[in-house]
Amino acid sequence: MKEEATKELLYKIADDQLVLGHRNSEWTGFGPLLEEDIAFSSMAQDKLGQSLVLYQLLHQLGEAPPDTVAFMRDSTSFHNCIFTELPNGEYDFSLVRHFLFDTAEKLRFEMLRESTFIALAELAVKISGELRYHDLHARTWMKQLGSATEESILRLQQSLTFSLPYALGIFEVSPYEEELTSEKIFAGEKILRDRWMERVEETLKKTELRLPQWESINPVFGGRAGNHSEHLQPLLDEMSEVFKIDPNAEW
């Protein structure tokens, strides 16, 4: 049971990173300015790297090798939250998603530093600098565009309002929540969500952006259990297109 709980936790974090990493990488070559194109692409690459380490941990627990797990599953076997699979749309949405998701990601890994699953705790320490940069990048952009011009504030506000129900879906409770907390593997989605809300409020206070009452938002759940939007399967098909031509090819 403990191992199942750990696997479920690893899968959802890894799948989040893989799917959002892939989505964000779609901006490579199309970023709003050259420096930002490089920064956003680098962070997308970081996410893919983090997902790889997590899939390696899963492989050590008996799951299929990382490439198989990443490229050969269909959407119903993915545990990412729906937020990560939504199409990029315009840059304002991608930035808002980056801010809301990466804030949660940084806090999640801060909590995982205390995990009794040592390999995960070590990973959390190791990637703290990457997560610090992602967080700094996201907050700096939000503060900049969230108080720059009427258009930038309006665009971010619309994307924020659209994103919040999906963002709350990050914290969909796991069927193994009790095992995870009692075994001190992870302190739980509820604690993470409360810390995230506090942190999001703290950053947005420095902007002209408005947060609705948290209670008024209906979270979009389902992703953690494999119930995804129509956007995930096409993303997976595109991501694995080359790999599937010859799954045994040596690269």
Residues that bind another protein (CB under 8 A): 26, 29-30, 33-36, 38-39, 42-43, 45, 49, 87-90, 126-130, 132-133, 136-137, 140-141, 144, 148-149, 238
Minimum CB–partner distance for residue 42 and another protein (Å): 5
Please say which residue, 33 or 118, places its beta carbon nearer to another protein. 33
Residues 6+ apart with CB under 8 A from 131: 102, 105, 106, 109
Minimum CB–partner distance for residue 174 and another protein (Å): 28
Please say which residue, 73 or 143, places its beta carbon nearer to another protein. 143
Minimum CB–partner distance for residue 1 and another protein (Å): 33
Positive or negative: CA dihedral 22, 56, 237, 84: negative
**Which run of H or E residues covers position 161?**
helix 150-168
Minimum CB–partner distance for residue 150 and another protein (Å): 11
Q: What angle do CA 148, 96, 194 make, to 5 degrees?
A: 115
State how far the Cα of 83 lies from the Cα of 109, in Å rounded to an integer. 19
Please say which residue, 5 or 95, places its beta carbon nearer to another protein. 95
Minimum CB–partner distance for residue 71 and another protein (Å): 17
Q: How far is CA 231 from CA 68, 84, 118, in A?
A: 21, 10, 35
Please say which residue, 1 or 34, places its beta carbon nearer to another protein. 34
State how far the Cα of 70 lies from the Cα of 67, in Å rounded to an integer. 5
State how far the Cα of 145 lies from the Cα of 206, in Å rounded to an integer. 11
- What Rg do the C-alpha atoms of the chain give, in angstroms? 18
Please say which residue, 127 or 160, places its beta carbon nearer to another protein. 127
Minimum CB–partner distance for residue 41 and another protein (Å): 8
Please say which residue, 136 or 173, places its beta carbon nearer to another protein. 136
